[in-house]
Amino acid sequence: MDNLKDLDSKTLFEMLANAVATSSCGGHHKGDMNDAYAKTYAEELNSRGYEVNLSHFAGIRAALSYLGTFNGRGSY
């Protein structure tokens, strides 16, 4: 995983979307790792002043999954 503090927010949002899109894979470990990555990306974005809450708004997960690329940059 890249040093998140060195990445711009646009890249972090892309990586977040890719991790969410890949979290629905068939493998439990891979899915769990992508959930963990998504949480880490969301925490970094929150520290930058964005409000990214993956646990309280299921719609954002659906939207990110649609926008993300399965196995794209930032996924496990």
Count Cβ atoms within 10 A of the Cβ of residue 14 and give its class: 0-12 exposed, 13-18 middle, 19 or more buried. buried
pLDDT at 65: 77
- Give the per-residue pLDDT at 1: 63
What is the rounded distance in angstroms from the CA atom of residue 41 to the CA atom of residue 18?
11
pLDDT at 60: 72
What is the model's pLDDT at position 41? 96
* pLDDT surpasses 90 at 57: no
Q: Using the predicted structure, report yes or no on whether residue 75 has a pLDDT greater than 80.
A: yes
Please give the average per-residue pLDDT across 47-65, as a whole number. 80
In angstroms, the CA 47 to CA 29 distance is: 27
The model's pLDDT over 3-55, given as tens digits with 9 standing for 90+, comes to: 999 999 999 999 999 999 898 777 789 989 999 999 999 999 999 999 988 87
